[in-house]
Amino acid sequence: MTRTGAKVIKRPLDIVSKIKSVLHDLRDSERKVAQLILVDLEFAGRASIHEIAERAGVSQASISRFAKRVGCKDVRELKSALVSSFAIGERFIEGYRDPSDDTAMGQVAQGILQAVKVVRDQTCAETVESVACIINKCRRLVVFGGGGGGTVASADVEYRLFRLGVDVRVFHDTTMQRMVASTLNENDVVLIVSTTGEIPEINENALVAKQYGATLVSITRGDSSLAKESDLQLNVHINEPEGIFRPTASRYALLAVVDAIALSLANMRTEVSRELIRRIKYNLDDHRGADKRFPVGD
Question: In this predicted structure, what is the pLDDT of residue 96?
Answer: 47
CATH of the domain at 221: 3.40.50.10490
Residue 124 lies in a domain: yes
CA quadruple 261, 267, 272, 274: dihedral sign? positive
Round to whole Å and give the CA distance between 52 and 65: 13
Cβ within 8 Å of residue 27, ≥6 positions away? 62, 65
Residue 23 lies in a domain: yes
Round to whole Å and give the CA distance between 166 and 137: 10
Question: In this predicted structure, what is the pLDDT of residue 99?
Answer: 53
- Residues 201-258 pLDDT 10s: 999 999 999 999 999 999 999 999 999 999 999 999 988 766 667 778 899 999 999 9
Question: What band does 298 get if pLDDT is binned at 50, 70 and 90?
Answer: low
Residue 294 phi/psi, 5-degree rounding, is -65, 145
Task: Clarify whether residues 117 and 203 are in a common domain.
Answer: yes
- How long is the chain? 298
Distances (CA, A) of 134 to 81, 96, 235, 268: 46, 47, 17, 11
Select the more confidently predicted residue: 91 or 273: 273
CATH of the domain at 31: 1.10.10.10
Domain with 197, as residue range(s), is 104-288
Is a pLDDT exceeding 50 seen at residue 9? no
Of 60, 92, 124, the domain-final residue: 92
The full 3-state SS of 156-193, as one line of letters, equals HHHHHHHHHCCCEEEECCHHHHHHHHCCCCCCEEEEEE
Average per-residue pLDDT for the chain:
87
Task: Clarify whether residues 44 and 116 are in a common domain.
Answer: no
Report how many domains make up the chain: 2
Out of 34-43, 81-90, 117-126, 237-246, least confident range: 81-90
For residues 224 and 92, the answer to whether their CB atoms sit within 8 Å is: no
Question: In this predicted structure, what is the pLDDT of residue 219?
Answer: 97
Residue 40 lies in a domain: yes
Round to whole Å and give the CA distance between 252 and 219: 12
Task: Clarify whether residues 108 and 73 are in a common domain.
Answer: no
- Residues 112-144 pLDDT 10s: 888 888 999 888 999 999 999 999 999 999 999
Longest dimension (CA), the chain: 79
